Amino acid sequence: MAELFPADFLQQLEGLHLLARQISRGRMRAERRSVKRGAGLEFADYRPFSPGDDIRAIDWNAYARNRHLLLKLFEEEEDLHVHLLLDCSGSMGWGTPPKFDAARQIVAGLAYLALSNLDRAGVAALGPHAQSVWSPSRGRARFLRLLRHLESYTTATGVNDLTSGVTRWLATRPRRGLVIWVTDGWGTSAEDVFQGLDRLRYARHDIGIIQLRHADEGEAGELGEFEYEDVETGETRVMIVDRAAATAYRKAVQDYEDRLREYSRKHGIAHMRADAAEPVIEVLRRSLTGGGFVR
């Protein structure tokens, strides 16, 4: 565990937790309140007493003043379910350091922040069926077990489309909440990620994407004749990379990026890009301060 989640990384998470508390104080709390009957956190309003209501909620002082039975309503803060989706497709194992290591650290950091905020955090791997879901739970006491669970995850081999992974997760009927998808955005086709996002939207989740890439993924690399293997599908093909092909590749990547950014903006999805070589703590800090997410 020390190699993937070193002690200094875990210590810095506590500092981020304090920052998160300062940012969320008053803002997120207000978004997560709903009016409930009976005991709660803060008084909200009155309504007339009806047969069958809990008499313990009657305001007897109000009754003494005006002889009307009034029921107190309170604002109660609901649990937020934070669902962290980890892309385990083959492309996540690419690069130095591997994108998958940074992705697992990001998921660990987000889970720590959620658990520290008394929210319920769960993790689902969009990859091989054998990689189990970490069901949403609450409390920092669960964090070390969650880290060991993240360590057990591996990247997939062979065909593993992200849309199917999202569909399998939704079939577990997760409670509606905040979904944060940590992915490089590369699927088995140009439509793979968008179809997965469509399914999350139709399930009425709030969605955020942290898109993790290495800086050189937008370039075709050296010129020449090469045999390429698609790490998402396992297919191989021989290609000649000349200047025209390199330019076309660069344009195709940029067009895809523009499309994903526009899709996210259109549908109210918080979208953040990060370099896989960037310190994970800084990525998490930007996600908290709003310096990285774009709507």
Contacts 24+ apart (CB under 8 A), 3-9: 4/101, 4/104, 4/105, 4/147, 4/150, 4/151, 5/105, 5/108, 5/147, 5/151, 9/105, 9/280, 9/281
Domains and CATH numbers, the chain: 33-77 (no CATH), 79-289 (3.40.50.410)
Question: pLDDT digit of tens for each residue in the chain (295 aa)?
Answer: 668 999 899 889 888 876 666 544 434 443 444 444 444 455 666 778 777 677 777 888 877 788 778 877 665 556 788 999 999 998 999 888 899 999 999 999 999 988 888 788 999 999 766 567 888 888 888 899 999 999 989 898 777 789 999 999 999 999 999 999 999 999 889 999 999 999 999 999 999 999 999 989 988 888 988 888 887 777 888 989 999 999 999 999 999 999 999 999 999 999 999 999 999 999 999 888 765 555 5
pTM of the model: 0.80
Contacts 24+ apart (CB under 8 A), 91-99: 91/184, 91/186, 91/231, 91/232, 92/155, 92/183, 92/184, 92/212, 93/155, 93/231, 94/214, 94/217, 94/231, 95/214, 95/217, 95/276, 97/276, 97/277, 98/276, 99/184, 99/212, 99/213, 99/214, 99/276
- What angle separates helix 162-170 from helix 192-202, to the nearest 10 degrees? 20
